[in-house]
Structure 1
Amino acid sequence: MTFDRSLKIAPSILAADFADFGAECAAVEAQGADWIHVDVMDGHFVPNISFGPTTCAAIRPHIKGVMDVHLMIAPVDPYIDAFAAAGADILTAHVEAGPHIHRTLQAIRAAGCKAGVALNPGTPASAVEDLLDIVDLVCVMTVNPGFGGQKFIPLAPKIATLRRMIGDRPVHIEIDGGVTVDTAPECVKAGADVLVAGSAVFKGGSASDPAAYGDNIRAIRQAAEGTYV
């Protein structure tokens, strides 16, 4: 992965057809997705269970670009190597998921992945201030993690604070939760460059009829860039 701060749309497969993940990943990529976002949930750190390294390994051959794996699990460290072996390009761990986030991020990089750190809505930007030299991505949760389809929590000041803190470091700011045509502009204006969207991308389409995916991705991108009509 080469760093650039151009806007990226990362559809979350949590909103895709669970019975057809491979085709869904390929379809949404062909329709303009920049990254594929994989939400891993353990029923412990968050109140839901999704999928693990085996699913990531199964979909990896169907993804040409970046597989962005968001670990909403605790503990994180015992599973890093398995997700890296499954083909994750980015592994993101929550700052709230354990007592040694710095060590977790070191382990992610040692496993050959880009390292991300995520912040729940109630966690301030200052929680990652001392981590910015060892991360590649900061994920700002704009819903409480655990379920798709939740209402967006506006956190533009927090995003802007992170943007100032990051400065010229090659670190992405990713927004995860409730991203739509209506909410994307404020996120990008505040400094975000990666937008995770689930139902807003996958609504109205299917792997066999994916044109709506492309329409939805273009609408979010245009809204975020201020060119949406």
Structure 2
Amino acid sequence: MLALSQPAFVLHSRAYRETSALVDFLTPQGRLRAVLRGARGKAGTLARPFVPLEAEFRGRGELKNVARLEAGGIPNLLSGEALFSGLYLNELLIRLLPAEDPHPAVFEHYALTLQALAQGRALEPLLRAFEWRLLDELGYGFALDTDRHGQAVVAGGLYRLQIDAGLEPVGQLQPGVFQGADLLAMAQADWSAAGALAAAKRLMRQALAPHLGGRPLVSRELFMTLKEPPRD
């Protein structure tokens, strides 16, 4: 099978046999799993998360072989909360993105998000935008400015999310509902609106939960541990 060069990022890597690694890559052609031979050499030093790569893969089955791996750009140097945010993005892609299902828009948005994280941009808007784009690309998206009946969201209204259907108007305040004003701010990506970011975080958790199979995200737990105040 002809090996074609394409841009790639490492999502996850683990030791495989004596000197190889089993690596999950994100490419414009989707998420690929491949064996990287000689992982303790030069190729292994490149096979790190957040490094833009140029890669060639061989093989017809689900498990490919890395035929070539070279640096494809400037590494995105992430640390602290930005590092955990990057790991969160990687885990989302591994858990949600089907193998070998092309999503070039997801790849492009991921690369831009890594650059923004490396530049020290505010984390929460970047994460919410990535979650939203990923859900939309996978066919799980829904409108934020109209409800499931096609009616415009009203700023003073209350709504709850019905998975696979959209926003349902509700008559009274209850756990898990959203203010119409917050939903409209999200639709415009207006993060200056009070409460919009917190509401967006709740909304994305609700929207992602059914697609994560009930298993918690390891990166989210690590991030929460990082943010916990030290104990006496």
Name the TM-score, length of structure 2 as normaliser.
0.24
User: More strand per residue: 1 or 2?
Assistant: 2
Q: Which has the larger radius of gyration?
A: 2
Name the TM-score, length of structure 1 as normaliser.
0.24
